[in-house]
Chain A
């Protein structure tokens, strides 16, 4: 039986002798054809299948960025746990933040099936070599921001993520199914919380409106750059990692949000927002992509704070990880001994 590791290197050395030769080239072409056919037939690619190196790299980059976003996303909301206005809201917020940690773990697991270890992914996050969604570099200034994040940020995430449940890579698609089920609670609790504020005192209403004013545009940016500037889109769509273009998903989100905002009794901060009868969609104003790129580059209001906090949490938790490993080694001898290797298939690398 081929080990997963052997299978992984098959992309460059199909016969495993380490020497590229004519037979290897022919094998690679055959593997490529089988892969293309599977993707075209809407079959799922599973961890030990042969896949093009670029497909693997794209998935690792995307899933890692997604996982990082989940765990960094815990910070802006956790900021309000101690100041939640009621025990009910506090319990809800804690459950939501816990869910975000869970989502991060599902996704790190999916990334690991591609042969990249969790430590490596965390190192890359901590050293800034891998990114997370730039939305989390904005601050949560008031309690209403927690509601606005649930409604808009999680709403945008759901719009992005539902099609990912049909992504061509099996473990990623399965993680997304689980995540999407749970996100629905996130969005609804946010909406409910904003509605309570909107119907409250004039001050509470103003606070809700202010939060929506601040989160609306960054939420639209979550769908990524416009289609003609999105460098990875075309290839990802061909691979069926991505099913819809950035602009298509953004439009879908705007169309969903406008009536929801009306029901909330809040307005969206865009004077150009109006129904276009001809297109059957809402037209909306021009997005400030300079701001988007600036935040992405690290100049957002909270970039520094988020990464510093993440590093500190990781470093300060080191003793817990070490103690647990020491305990396991002392009592069962399993730590490390049980092996550490590949996913889903369970096949240990020899």
Chain B
């Protein structure tokens, strides 16, 4: 037998304290503990991280590219949510 059905894990690495975990890549591993060890060997060989999360890829729910436009559309027509929307007279400070 040469094939194994090891699940896929997504790896998130916190590069240093004060920053959030960022997606680093993925790997296959039979269980969470080995996923974590493999992630350490694969993604932090040069001190790139102080903390790692591994998440079964199948546990992530993602928005679909099909829905991209309508899904994010509500944000597109609300420029008044941005500070640059507002006109402020010149010379007014700290605003």
Contacts and interface: CB of A to CB of B under 8 A. Distances in A.
A54 interface: no
Nearest to B23: A344
Given A178-B25, A346-B61, 5 more contacts: A7-B66, A109-B26, A335-B31, A344-B23, A348-B57
Interface of B: 1-10, 23, 25-28, 30-32, 34, 41-42, 45-46, 55-67
A66 to B, nearest CB: 15
A7 B31 contact: no
B56 A344 contact: no
Given A1-B64, A346-B58, A321 B4 contact: yes
B58 A341 contact: yes
Nearest to A99: B45
A345 B5 contact: no
Nearest to B11: A109
B6 A347 contact: no
Interface of A: 1-2, 7, 46, 48-50, 95, 98-99, 102, 105-106, 109, 112, 118-119, 122-123, 174-175, 178, 182, 314-315, 318, 321-322, 324-325, 327-329, 331-332, 334-348
Which of A98, A102, A339 has the most CB atoms of chain B within a 10 A radius of its CB? Answer: A339
Given A324-B34, A334-B32, A1 B67 contact: yes
Nearest to A348: B58
Given A347-B61, A347-B62, A331 B31 contact: yes
Given A102-B42, A109-B25, A345 B31 contact: no
Contacts of A174: 25
A246 B56 CA distance: 40
Contact of B60 (A49, A98, A314, A346): A346
Contact of A343 (B6, B8, B61): B8
A95 B46 CA distance: 10
